[in-house]
Amino acid sequence: MTRRITMQAAAAYWAKITGTPRPHRGTLIRWATKGVRGVRLVAEPIAGRWYTTSDAIEDFHRRMPRPAMTCSDPTVFTTRAAQVERAVGELDQMLARRPAGRRAN
């Protein structure tokens, strides 16, 4: 049988296994009640306090959806950077053509 842990301890365990900053215990409660893209953390309230298990944390981490911003093609980011650079250049030209004494309304 796996031992129950508080959400405070679960937050510390999450930080340990993921290498990310410790989430607030309220975040873990939200993961248990609302889930993340359809995946919920197994937890239960007992006498007004929420508890989960280390196994449940590991299972949630394994099932949690990965970020959608994964792209192995570096040209996508290079192209976007070039678009931004062009837009900044165009704005600089527009500002340079404005009369010096004129204020924007």
**Phi-psi sector, 37: left (phi>0), alpha (psi -120 to 50), beta:** left
Structure tokens at 59: 């299972």
Query: What's the pTM value of the predicted model, to 2 decimals?
Result: 0.61
More confident residue, 72 or 23: 23
Is residue 7 within 8 Å of 28, Cβ to Cβ? yes
pLDDT of residue 82: 81
**Which pLDDT tens digit goes with each residue over 87-104?**
888 888 888 887 766 665
Q: How far is residue 25's CA from residue 96's CA, in Å, rounded to a whole number?
A: 52
Sequence-distant (≥ 6) Cβ neighbours of residue 43 within 8 angstroms: 7, 10, 28, 29, 32, 50, 51, 52, 56
| pLDDT tens-digit map of 32-76 | 999 988 999 999 999 999 999 999 999 999 998 776 555 566 666
